Amino acid sequence: MTENEVKFLSFQEAAKIVAAIQEEENVRDQDRRILTVYNHDERELCWFDFEEVMQAIGPGDKDQQKEAVQNYVLHHIPDWVLDL
């Protein structure tokens, strides 16, 4: 593995530390949305580009997309969040 490759937490480990996934305005680019991930102490862990996640999960009804976003995010939590 190279230095630039990201390791992800297991789904189970991510599910234990993630308390919320919130869609928010990107403070750096007002025309873009992000998904901010918070832990149980309401501390920001990481964020995902909303449009990239939506493209990755594909179409579906609102309930399907909500579950797909949650699953996508929980499968892509970088291991470095444990060092925060």
pLDDT tens digits, 15-55: 999 999 999 998 888 889 999 999 999 999 999 999 999 99
Helix 50-57 with 62-75: angle, nearest 10 deg:
110
**Number of other CB atoms surrounding residue 11 within 10 Å:** 13
Give the model's pLDDT for residue 3: 66
Confidence of residue 82 (pLDDT cuts 50, 70, 90): very high
- C-alpha span between 72 and 11 (Å, rounded): 10
Structure tokens at 9: 């937490």
pLDDT at residue 30 in the model: 83
